[in-house]
Amino acid sequence: MIVWLLDTQGPRQVAGVCDSETQAISDAEELLSDGRADSARIEQAHAHMGGYWMHSGYERTGSGQTATRADDGTVRWTRFYRPALAAS
């Protein structure tokens, strides 16, 4: 199952899990716009829940977005991707 992990930095540090990128962005923008966070990061992850897995948890994919709040209150998003594997 694909999920989105949300982490914020600033006056209030928040960590959460959303089932859609759209919801994670919306939650982060709300925290950024009202000043509860200075920056946010959302990252796609694979959820491993019970079943045959040794343990439950999340495996980050290395792809997502970061956001910062400017002094005028606007939010700027920047995408990041997992680096490609280099041939050896």
| Measured CA angle at 40 (ends 38, 45), to 5 deg | 165
Tell me what pLDDT residue 59 has: 86
Count of structural domains within the chain: 1
| Residue 10 within a domain | yes
Domain that holds residue 36: 2-80
Phi then psi dihedrals of residue 85, to 5 deg: -70, 135
pLDDT tens for residues 62-83? 899 999 988 888 899 999 998 7
In the predicted model, what is the mean pLDDT of the chain? 88
Tell whether the model's pLDDT for residue 84 goes beyond 60. yes
